[in-house]
Structure 1
Amino acid sequence: MRETSRRYYIEHLAVLLAVAGLCIVLLHTGAWMSLSRHAYDRMLAFLPPPDVSDITIVAIDEASLRKIGRWPWDRSVHARLVEQLDRYGASAIVLDLIFAEPDRVRPESDAALVDAMAAHGHVFLPVHVSDGGPDGVLLEVMPHASFARAAAGMGHVDVELDNDGVVRGLYMRNGIGQPWWPHLSLTLLEHLAPRGIPRFPAQQTPREPAFGAVRQYYRLVPFTDLAGNLPRLSAVDVLNGEVDEALLRERIVFLGATAQGLGDLLPTPLAGSNGLLPGVEMNATVFGALREDRLLTPMSTGWIWGLTLALALISPTILPFVGPRWSIPVLLGVLLGILLFSYALLYWYQLWFPVGPAMLGAMLAYPLWTWRRLEYSLRYMRAALRRLSAHDDLNRRLLQPAPLKRVIELIEAALPVAAWRLEKRSAGGKALAQRESGGAEISERTWQGNRARYYNILAGNQRYELGLVWEEGGPAPAHEQWVRAMVARCEETLATDEGHYDVVEDHIERVRAQELRQQALTRFFEAILAQLRDGVVIADACGCLLFVNAQASEWLALPSREMDDTSLLQLGRELLVGEDGSGWAAVVREALSTGRSQLECRSRRGQDMYLDMLRIRAGRQPGEVLILMLKDISDVKQAMRARSEMLDFLSHDLRSPMISLLALGERYRQQPGTMSDLLEQMEHYAQRSLGIAEQFLQLARAEATQEADMTPLDMLPVVESAVEQVMLQAQQRRVRLRFEYLPEDDVWVSGNHELLERAVVNLLTNAIKYSHPDSQVDVRLHCEEGSVRCEVVDAGVGIEPEFLEHLFKRFRRAQSSGGARTRGAGLGLRFVKVVAERHNGDILASSRLDHGSRFTLCLPRIEIE
């Protein structure tokens, strides 16, 4: 494993251990439990409320105190309340009042209450069990014996305050010495719905003290807002019979004090506006949740520790696998997931998992891992900067501004500049005293004329103005462009290095500077390779293509960017190497064996190519590479073929008339004849040599014609002039000429009058030459599909089909009967082809043996306003 990877994993493990250690400390000390309690309180609002449709609260409120009298009431009042509830049909009555002492002044009141309780038969009384509080006194406050015997059951009503002073739960069993007393709601439930297996049975353990407060079965109460579902009746209204009987019949009635300063008011997570909940409502809430088995159980310590560590370590486990931009969303997702997991346990399993330590551990993972990731990134950037700076010489030369003296030297040596001057400028553009100049003495008026040009340069935090006076005629566009490039090369391209307050920003700026240098270097080489007229292909040691410039991409039909699907061995598809075109693998084999392979080949497009494959070493990555260079030598090969054809032509066609003239002169000396016959034959051979030379000159001129020599012209006078020139030749061979055209046709083209006329003359001359005596040559000028067409049709000997594709090449003549009896250099139709191409047109030919030929000169038509 590499050192960097090993260090990375060690740091990742260290973050995991740090998060786990924090969670252990939080769990052991109970710190930050306020976060868990806050999350628990918020979740209670989303739990479904218990069914309290058969429960009613009878409250000893302020109105009851005003009408009945101050507290404590005579117990006969309580007796009348119980009797009245019995008449209303209450199924059970929970008196949330402790009658610990008998009324020694009015014993008949106690007797009345005992009789009322016994008559109803379902009255339940509370027991108060205290652990002694700060003074350490243990208390177990029970109802007086007479009331206890009349009650259907008794149970404790004590609750537990958390560290923040809020009641969230209670013990289902509580007592002194043993967990004797069940909670009052449990006693009520066991009485109303008894079952074989007791709920929350009392258990004696060896660890419990012989005489002390003993508690078992701690449960959390799912407090919900029951204000709209739990009816609350005033005790005075019940006593006076002024309530709806439906609110009490067959209902469980919880009767207790709710007036301020009278009853026990408990702070709960969902208390009313005053922040307190009366004890009587607390007991009703506990009973409703207990009856539906929805009291919440705190998770065991072992499970809490295990789940806390598992959930807290999710965040540091995932963060290394996501990018920085997703770190916070992932962290928020993990925190939300922990909350949802805890809520799901509450909702479906009535289990409470304290989320505080797990959430704090997950949150701690983000700064820890971000710190290590940032340090790792900075360490890598520092190492990368050291590596880049080790090979920074070329980058420095590319981006370092050129000195002004180099500009002046090149201007004086290579540009058509009559004079120059360089002066400093202030920030406001005002000229300073320093000025350098060179060249010829130029008047100030000339410096203000059309030949003068001025360029602003910012070099070395100093502004300069470079003035040039060009020679007569002004600068060419290429010269102007080069001077602007020189000015740009002198200016600063990168901001000077400066310190930054933030270390990260400083490293980022240094990396950005190196990035700009690398980009400049890449663009520099890409621009050079792209502008090469030769094709360049670079392949790695496995034959994968790394780079293909534009020229090679065009010649080899390769994509210049997406080259993943093409290998070096597939380049042979476009190159014909060897006689059968299958020698590409041998070329690669030779380059791998000897280090270089050179040969000439042809592409499938018909280009002659020179191939040079070189094997070089390019460092460890990509290792050794093969550089393939292609050069198009079609022009060279064509020139060599033309030279060979020229030599053949000179050795045969051009020498033949000269040899005939010499032979004619020798025969005349040996056998003197008439002078007229000799002159006639000499004139024939001389005319033939002159015609061949004239055709050479015409062809050379056509090939050298530029677009600037073209002007708008009407083809009608061109064709008419050509027809007049060959009229005498046609009459001598007894061939009729017929010229057809439509006067309404607009036959204007952009061309050279002389070349077009000579081309039409050549077509007519060939048609007359190869026509039978007493036949006809038709000439037709018309417009068709945006082009001007001149057709020459004869009824002569025709051309062999296999020779039509070679008809317009140099020194090629048909071998038909007509061609056998006529002499020529084979340059006339080649001249016509060149003229047509120079005019962006074409020449079409069709023929049948012994039926004649048709030649059509097609030229682009132009509109003349």
Structure 2
Amino acid sequence: MANSANTSFFSSSWLYAGVAALLTFCLSYFQIFQPIEYLAYDRLLRVQSEAPDNEVVIIAMDEKSLQRFGPLPWPRDVHAQMINVLTQAQVTAIGYDVLFDKARDPSDKNLIQAVKNNKKIVFPVVIENLKQDGQLLELQPFAQLNQVTPSLGLVHFQLSDDNISRGVYLRGGLGEPFWRAFSAEVLDIANGEQEYILPLQEQKISKPSFDLKKIEQSQYVMIPFKEDKHFFKRISFVELLDNQEFAAELKDKVVFVGVTATAARNADFLPVPISRDGQIMPGVEINATLYHALKHEHYIVPINKWVIAILSALIVFCAFTLLPISLPRRNFYYFLLGILGVASLMWLALHLMHQWWPLVTPLIVMTTGYLFWVWRKVVGNMTFFNQTINRLQHEAANAIELERNTSLHDKFKFWHHLKLIKQWRSSDQREGVYQQSVPVLIDGKEWLLEPENLSKKEQRLFNKLLAQTLSKPVEHKQQLAGVIENRIVQVEDAITKMNFLRRFVEKSMDKLTDGVILADNDGQVFYSNIEANNLLPELRNKDQIDLLDILNGLTLVGNSNWQYLLKQVLLEGIGREIQAITSNKRDLKVGLSLLSNVAGKDFVIINLSDITTIKREQRRQLEMIDFISHDLRSPMTSILALLSRYQSHPEEFEEKQLSADIERLTRSSLSLAEHFLMLSRTESHIEIALYPVELLNSIDNALAVIMPLAKEKNIEIAFDFMAYDDIWLNANEDLLGRVITNLLTNAVKYSPQGSFVNLDIEQDSTGLRLRVQDQGEGIDKEQMTTIFKPFTRMQRHEMAKVKGIGLGLRFVRAAMLRFGGSVGVESEPGKGSCFILKFPASSIIED
């Protein structure tokens, strides 16, 4: 399913990118957005920074010159005079952008002579439309002038579809591209003997048409017009004639002479892309600009439309291929960066590479395509939102309802059952008088509650329940105006409820006393609650956990294996319960069950119940049963045997001796039963009351019990009552007295005759210690760890036939655990033993 989704995703994105790229190619090749391309070219062209040209000077036939010489055309003596001045100034070349197409008067001789003397002048050739029959005519200088002119150049600027002059063909003419551009001819003169070769020779027309009604042109370049109006130095025509000092500045300069006065008749002004002087420029400045571009190879070459169409298609294809794999929240910024990048590429190509890459079409397609793509995503997301909302609302409707509208009466009744309040009523009810009522305002209505006599814990519980009752449920957000906003609010509400249910379930699982493990049908554990982690620590801190690895760490009780049990559960769907033992010897009851067909998948649930305490209790009960069946039954069997012999042979028994034997055996059974009952009670989970007990009094009672046995063995028991003040412990008087009695009994029983048993008490900040020191044989290290187990006795005591059943020390240990303390022993063979009862500081009750 994932592979098919990925395939669908990539095929969809690639198809979208391919369609957008094909559309871009067509739009770019057929120049559908050419007006916008022109607009982009004009704006990018204006973003420029270049130092003024000090090589070229424009001699301006301006308004001041018109005031001196009158309207055009001027007398040709004036032009002859100007040419002579320029000749004397030793200029490098002259581009005289004035057409002398007809001979006029004798003054033509002066002009011819001036041109003949100069030998560095270029006059224009102009193509004019005669309009009668559509025939075009090339206008050249009149014949005599033409003969002495060093060079002629075509002045014919190309207007774009929007009637703005952006470029020029470097070759042109009627029927064939015979003439080179005016500025190219000036550059050829300025180069001296080295012939200037036009660029873009590959664009020459191989077969001219020779049609005089058609202008044949080749080698088109775009002119990099200058935004700075002072890029070329200008000198007024009349000022140069009047002041010869200006002529000194023209040495080795290239000079263009032409009309700059807008009021001049037949003035040669053209609209250009830059924004100055109403976006018009005199022809002489256009020629000067072209000269500068050709000289420094800064002319702009438009790239072939095939290349631009392919490049545009590639840009769009890459953009829409990368778009789906980027993060949605960053798509806009990536696209904005892409558009700025393409615009920067156009500017760099224009000003650094001197090429025009019209890439506005891919920008338009990218923008509109991105908007369309966003629209598709919005529609898709809305569909997804609707489906998600319906699914979440359906799941939320069928989930556990945690917010129930419970009446206040039911709440207060429940609190009454918990013994938190005695009674309650609303403030508008007159019956009943409460002594210690608590006013509570709930939903604008006042209630009077009379609490019970609560402990601190009960008071905290009451305050908690009351605070939860007073807290208001989360209000749903108001309906918003937008459809998308409302859908988002619905999704947030549904997700909030589902998240709350999820957290509720997770916390509930963690509060379970049993461990729970969830695994998928691939055998991988994906959830375990806190109790499961405690029982099986290997579940923690693992990214990937194999179920069988966890189960194989448990030792099964019985002849089976986990692989078989797990397989049977998956095959039959019937749960199994088995017992297992962990690596740290804890007994577990393990339940395996199958949760089938949840969203099309099966899951395995493993339930872990810690039955260590139960198994220990079972083993203890079995030990007790064995004890009862042997030790407790033996005296009874002896009594029955004595009675049977007495009935058969009464003459062999004295009645007094028989009674003494029966009493001895009966007391032995009673003693065993008492020890057994006390130990069972102490080790059981039955609550034993703890209360203040005076320790010295318990010691005194124990000494009273043990003194007869001590006197029989001539053993002195030493304890200085006067050395201690009253000591009160939080304990149980019966259990504490029997604990001390058991230790003193063992000390007297296992000490030799005529020895001493000492008792002393130590108390510090950590607690209290009662020490019982005897002078017996001591305890071996091997038996130090077993003396507190039930029915355990030292081997030499059994061989010496010292009476005992092995429950006394077990009882002492169990009782001390109930008091929150412990029992320890210090002993060396041959030096006696010292048993220590340790009570923590928390067990000591101060006055």
Question: Paired residue for 2:614, among 613, 636, 658?
Answer: 636
Q: Contact 2:718–2:756 at 8 Å: present in 1 too? A: yes
Return 168-177 or 310-319, whichever deviates more.
310-319
Return 316-325 or 328-337, whichever deviates more.
316-325
Q: Does 1:111 align with 2:109?
A: yes
Q: Distance in 2 between matches of 1:208 and 1:356?
A: 37
- 2:350 paired residue number: 346
Q: Distance in 2 between matches of 1:29 and 1:750?
A: 102
Q: Contact 2:199–2:219 at 8 Å: present in 1 too? A: no
Q: Does 1:296 align with 2:300?
A: yes
Q: Distance in 2 between matches of 1:134 and 1:769?
A: 153
- Aligned-pair distance for 1:265? 4.1
Q: Does 1:398 align with 2:401?
A: yes
- 2:257 paired residue number: 255
Question: Paired residue for 2:585, among 595, 599, 606?
Answer: 606
Question: Paired residue for 2:244, among 229, 235, 241?
Answer: 241
Give runs of aligned pairs for residues 382-781 of structure 1, distance below 5 A.
382-384=386-388, 394-395=398-399, 398=401, 401-402=404-405, 404=407, 407=410, 444-446=431-433, 449-450=435-436, 456=442, 495=476, 502-559=482-539, 564-578=543-557, 583-592=561-570, 595-619=574-598, 621-623=600-602, 625-656=603-634, 682=663, 686=667, 689-690=670-671, 693=674, 696-697=677-678, 700=681, 709=690, 733-734=713-714, 759-773=739-753, 775=755, 781=761
Q: Distance in 1 between matches of 2:407 and 2:546?
A: 48
Q: Distance in 1 between matches of 2:286 and 2:136?
A: 24
After superposition, the C-alpha distances for 1:411-461 in whole angstroms (9 at most, x for unaligned) are 5997779998898xxxxxx98xxxxxxxxxx96343x5546775736xxxx
Return 149-158 or 590-599, whichever deviates more.
590-599
Return 286-295 or 754-763, whichever deviates more.
754-763
Partner of 1:129: helix, strand, or coil?
strand
After superposition, the C-alpha distances for 1:183-211 in whole angstroms (9 at most, x for unaligned) are 11211233344459654566364667342
Partner of 1:522: helix, strand, or coil?
helix
Partner of 2:778: helix, strand, or coil?
coil
Return 163-172 or 662-671, whichever deviates more.
662-671
Q: Contact 1:748–1:788 at 8 Å: present in 2 too? A: no
Q: Does 1:334 align with 2:321?
A: no
Give the letter aligned to residue 615 of structure 2: K
- Aligned-pair distance for 1:602? 1.6
- Aligned-pair distance for 1:606? 2.3
Give the letter aligned to residue 514 of structure 2: D
TM-score under structure 1 normalisation?
A: 0.80
- Aligned-pair distance for 1:9? 7.6
Question: Paired residue for 1:280, among 269, 275, 284?
Answer: 284
Where structure 1 has 5 or more consecutive residues not aligned to the other structure, the ranges are 424-429, 432-441, 458-462
After superposition, the C-alpha distances for 1:336-377 in whole angstroms (9 at most, x for unaligned) are 232234344435643322222211111111222222222233
Give the letter aligned to residue 536 of structure 1: V
Number of equivalenced pairs: 832
Q: Distance in 2 between matches of 1:122 and 1:718?
A: 139
Give the letter aligned to residue 562 of structure 2: W
Partner of 1:834: helix, strand, or coil?
helix
| C-alpha distance 469-82 of structure 1, shift in aligned 2 (>3 A) | same
| C-alpha distance 780-406 of structure 1, shift in aligned 2 (>3 A) | closer
- 1:434 paired residue number: none
Partner of 1:231: helix, strand, or coil?
strand
After superposition, the C-alpha distances for 1:643-675 in whole angstroms (9 at most, x for unaligned) are 222223333444455566677788896556696
| C-alpha distance 641-203 of structure 1, shift in aligned 2 (>3 A) | closer
Where structure 2 has 5 or more consecutive residues not aligned to the other structure, the ranges are none
After superposition, the C-alpha distances for 1:679-723 in whole angstroms (9 at most, x for unaligned) are 699479638834861674377358669798366x99899879878
Return 825-834 or 61-70, whichever deviates more.
61-70
RMSD across aligned C-alpha pairs, in angstroms?
A: 4.9
Q: Distance in 2 between matches of 1:715 and 1:57?
A: 125
Give the letter aligned to residue 823 of structure 1: K
Partner of 2:593: helix, strand, or coil?
strand
Q: Distance in 2 between matches of 1:387 and 1:140?
A: 82
- Aligned-pair distance for 1:140? 3.1
Partner of 1:444: helix, strand, or coil?
coil
- Aligned-pair distance for 1:398? 1.8
Partner of 1:398: helix, strand, or coil?
coil
| C-alpha distance 640-199 of structure 1, shift in aligned 2 (>3 A) | closer
Q: Distance in 1 between matches of 2:21 and 2:180?
A: 40
| C-alpha distance 198-637 of structure 1, shift in aligned 2 (>3 A) | closer
TM-score under structure 2 normalisation?
A: 0.82
- Aligned-pair distance for 1:73? 4.6
- Aligned-pair distance for 1:545? 1.8
Give the letter aligned to residue 79 of structure 1: A
- 2:365 paired residue number: 361
Q: Distance in 1 between matches of 2:157 and 2:725?
A: 114
Q: Distance in 1 between matches of 2:562 and 2:358?
A: 74
Q: Distance in 1 between matches of 2:640 and 2:214?
A: 153
Q: Distance in 2 between matches of 1:360 and 1:209?
A: 41
After superposition, the C-alpha distances for 1:26-54 in whole angstroms (9 at most, x for unaligned) are 44774543432333233335567489443
| C-alpha distance 100-301 of structure 1, shift in aligned 2 (>3 A) | same
Give the letter aligned to residue 284 of structure 2: V
Give the letter aligned to residue 831 of structure 1: F
- Aligned-pair distance for 1:405? 11
Question: Paired residue for 1:141, among 125, 139, 142?
Answer: 139
Question: Paired residue for 2:220, among 199, 218, 221?
Answer: 218
Return 181-190 or 763-772, whichever deviates more.
763-772
Q: Contact 2:92–2:190 at 8 Å: present in 1 too? A: no
Q: Distance in 1 between matches of 2:382 and 2:412?
A: 45
Q: Distance in 2 between matches of 1:771 and 1:132?
A: 151
- Aligned-pair distance for 1:576? 1.6
Give the letter aligned to residue 244 of structure 2: G
Q: Contact 2:682–2:811 at 8 Å: present in 1 too? A: no
Give the letter aligned to residue 117 of structure 1: V
Return 686-695 or 286-295, whichever deviates more.
686-695
Q: Distance in 1 between matches of 2:772 and 2:286?
A: 118
Partner of 2:219: helix, strand, or coil?
strand
| C-alpha distance 836-80 of structure 1, shift in aligned 2 (>3 A) | farther
- Aligned-pair distance for 1:127? 2.5
Q: Distance in 1 between matches of 2:725 and 2:123?
A: 124
Give the letter aligned to residue 90 of structure 2: G
- Aligned-pair distance for 1:768? 3.9
- 1:436 paired residue number: none
Give the letter aligned to residue 149 of structure 1: Q
Q: Contact 1:327–1:366 at 8 Å: present in 2 too? A: no
Q: Distance in 2 between matches of 1:723 and 1:168?
A: 126
- Aligned-pair distance for 1:605? 2.6
Q: Contact 1:747–1:861 at 8 Å: present in 2 too? A: no
| C-alpha distance 717-172 of structure 1, shift in aligned 2 (>3 A) | farther
After superposition, the C-alpha distances for 1:560-584 in whole angstroms (9 at most, x for unaligned) are 7x7641111012354221479x933
- Aligned-pair distance for 1:543? 1.0
